[in-house]
């Protein structure tokens, strides 16, 4: 960690020094930064990652550097000859840029579609070592590219409808519109009363999610739904979120409503889910494997996965010994787990979800929504919600 800061901080200091000289020489009167909290206003319990462990070290570093930059701007504002320095710091996601349907890009490049040899799947043998690099198998590329309905959130990338529902859900990251951020910037330029004292008033000066954004969230969801939902998760919120979305989406495809799910036995639920996943042309399976989310079948030893070019998940990165504990660990955070115990867990989750989100006869007819259900699990089970201090 010290080495990382040792690399970045001198560069950051030099950047602000150059910025100060450039602003002074150009005769700039006002400099406004639209900053970041690094976590969208969430805490160390933020459940969204770029594939790392929770909490995301990348996001924590982003928060640390963002804070350092804010302090350097504060120092600049106290320097004689400096322009007026202000910082607008949204503590939520900024969305959205556009809504569309087509190829899903990651880093400007399309995501290749992979599939697993589901007719002759890989079997996990207890006591053996799993090393994706050493496996003698084809990459299982289909020659296609991942496509679906998406909402473009700018620098945050393309989200599926369920990822957008989960990340923007009240109690998680939520969001603010770009127009609202721009209006606050214009207010700063016009000299409207607005504190830029990061040290003493950060909490009172951050831009929080808004009522308007809450209304527009429904507009965005309806527009995405009008394009016909295609695409379950694109992996931008981390493997655990994708895993939860995929598992609940499988249950939605198999049972549709909450009552249909909870009235089944866990064994039947697991077999039904397996039959769905093993369908010959299953888009959900291909999509999951293409972003590095394998499928563990009900027997607990048959694993569907793809050997991709990019190894960005824990199970892909290093060799590991196939033991029950290791299987349970990966199944908990980055594998689609179709085992009987996990199906029972989802049924219990649905019962608790219904007890807090529906009443009376509504419980029997409520449709399974992977976005809302995933958001509820992240808040209630993984403690991933935000704490509001007004």
Taking only the tens place, the pLDDT of each residue in 29-77 is 989 889 998 999 999 999 988 777 778 888 898 999 999 999 898 888 8
pLDDT tens track for 199-231: 446 566 778 899 999 999 999 999 999 998 789
297 vs 357: which has the higher pLDDT: 297
Q: How far is CA 365 from CA 345, 368, 373, in A?
A: 20, 9, 15
| Least reliable range by pLDDT among 17-21, 232-236, 362-366 | 362-366
Across all residues in the chain, what is the average pLDDT?
89
Phi, psi of 122 (to 5 degrees): -75, 140
Per-residue pLDDT, 80: 84
- Residue 2's pLDDT is 46
**DSSP-assigned states of every residue in 138-163:** ---EEEEE-EEEEEE-GGG-EE-HHH
**Confidence at residue 63, expressed as pLDDT on a 0 to 100 scale:** 92
Report pLDDT digits (tens) over 320-359: 999 999 999 999 999 999 999 999 999 999 999 998 876 6
Stated length of the chain:
390
Note the pLDDT of residue 197. 45
Please, what's the b/e burial string for 281-292 (b: 16 or more CB within 10 A of its CB; e: otherwise)?
A: ebebbbbbbbbb
The yes-or-no verdict on residue 136 having pLDDT over 50 is: yes
Query: What is the model's pLDDT at position 368?
Result: 94
* Weakest mean pLDDT among 62-71, 157-166, 381-390: 381-390
Residue 360 has pLDDT above 60, yes or no: no
Q: What is the distance between the alpha carbons of residues 54 and 240, in angstroms, rounded to a whole number?
A: 10
Residue 360 burial (10 A CB sphere; 0-12, 13-18, 19+)? exposed
Average pLDDT over residues 147-162: 94
Q: Judge whether residue 1 has pLDDT over 60.
A: no
Residue 329 burial by Cβ neighbours in a 10 Å radius (0-12, 13-18, 19+): middle
Q: What does each C-alpha distance from 183 to 85, 96, 254 come to in angstroms?
A: 17, 15, 46
**What band does 79 get if pLDDT is binned at 50, 70 and 90?**
confident
Whole-number Å distance between alpha carbons of 218 and 237:
20
User: Which pLDDT value is given to residue 202?
Assistant: 57
pLDDT at 159 over 80: yes
- pLDDT confidence of residue 55: 80
| Residue 96, preceding peptide bond in cis (omega within 30° of 0) | yes
Strand duo 112-114 + 98-103: pairing:
unpaired
- Predicted pLDDT at 389: 46
Nearest-angstrom CA–CA distance, 127 and 198: 54
Residue pair 287/146 in contact (Cβ under 8 Å)? The answer is: yes
Question: Hey, CA dihedral for 120, 121, 125, 131, is it positive or negative?
Answer: positive
Q: How far is CA 25 from the centre of its chain?
A: 42
pLDDT cut 90: percent of the chain above it:
63
Taking CA atoms, 199 is separated from 69, 130, 218, in Å, by 13, 49, 36
**pLDDT tens-place string over residues 244-267:** 999 999 999 999 999 999 999 999
Under 8 Å CB-to-CB from 1, ≥6 apart: which residues?
none
Show the CA angle centred on residue 50, arms to residues 210 and 138, nearest 5°.
Answer: 140
Q: Is the pLDDT of residue 390 over 60?
A: no
β-bridge pairing 112-114 and 141-145:
antiparallel
E strand intervals along 40-89? 84-88
Instruction: Taking residues 151-159, report their average pLDDT.
Output: 92
pTM summary value? 0.84
45: left (phi over 0), alpha (psi -120 to 50) or beta: alpha
Q: How many angstroms separate the CA atoms of 50 and 240, rounded?
A: 10
pLDDT at 199: 42
Q: What is the pLDDT of residue 193?
A: 56
Who's near 282: CB < 8 A, 6+ residues apart? 276
Q: Cα separation of 1 and 9, whole Å?
A: 12
- Report the relative pairing of strands 336-337 and 141-145 from DSSP bridges: unpaired
Average pLDDT (365-369) is: 90
> What is the rounded distance in angstroms from the CA atom of residue 64 to the CA atom of residue 210?
26
Check: CB of residue 185 under 8 Å from CB of residue 34: yes
């Amino acid at each position: 960690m010290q080495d990382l800061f040792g690399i970045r901080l001198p560069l950051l200091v030099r950047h602000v020094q150059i910025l100060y000289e450039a602003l002074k020489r150009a005769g700039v009167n006002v400099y406004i930064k639209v900053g970041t909290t690094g976590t969208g206003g969430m805490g160390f319990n933020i459940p969204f990652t770029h594939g790392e462990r929770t909490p995301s070290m990348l996001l924590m570093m982003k928060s640390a550097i963002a804070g350092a930059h804010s302090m350097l701007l504060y120092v600049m504002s106290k320097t004689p000859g400096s322009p007026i320095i202000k910082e607008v710091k949204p503590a939520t996601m900024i969305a959205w840029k556009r809504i569309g349907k087509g190829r899903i890009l990651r880093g400007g490049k399309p995501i290749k579609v992979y599939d697993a040899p589901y007719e002759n799947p890989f079997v996990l043998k207890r006591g053996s070592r799993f090393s994706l690099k050493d496996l003698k198998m084809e990459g299982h590329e289909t020659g296609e590219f991942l496509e679906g309905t998406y909402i473009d959130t700018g620098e945050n990338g393309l989200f599926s409808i369920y990822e957008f529902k989960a990340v923007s859900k009240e109690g998680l990251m939520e969001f603010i519109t770009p127009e609202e951020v721009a209006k606050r910037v214009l207010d700063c330029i016009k000299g409207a009363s607005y504190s830029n004292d990061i040290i003493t008033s950060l909490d009172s000066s951050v831009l929080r999610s808004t009522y308007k954004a809450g209304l527009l969230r429904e507009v965005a969801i309806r527009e995405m739904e009008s394009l016909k939902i295609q695409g379950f998760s694109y992996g931008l919120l981390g493997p655990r979120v994708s895993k939860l979305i995929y598992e609940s989406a499988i249950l939605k495809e198999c049972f549709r409503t909450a009552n249909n799910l909870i009235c089944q036995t866990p064994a039947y639920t697991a077999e039904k889910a397996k039959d769905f996943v093993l369908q010959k042309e299953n888009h959900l399976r291909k999509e999951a494997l293409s972003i590095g989310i394998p499928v563990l079948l009900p027997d607990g030893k048959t694993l569907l996965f793809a050997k991709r070019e990019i190894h960005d998940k824990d199970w892909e990165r290093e060799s590991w010994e196939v033991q029950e504990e290791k299987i349970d660990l990966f199944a908990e955070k980055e594998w689609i787990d179709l085992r009987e115990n996990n199906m029972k867990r989802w049924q219990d989750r649905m019962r608790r979800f219904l007890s807090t989100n529906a009443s009376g006869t509504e419980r029997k007819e409520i449709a399974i929504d992977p976005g809302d259900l995933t958001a509820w699990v992240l808040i209630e089970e993984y403690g991933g919600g935000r704490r509001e201090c007004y």
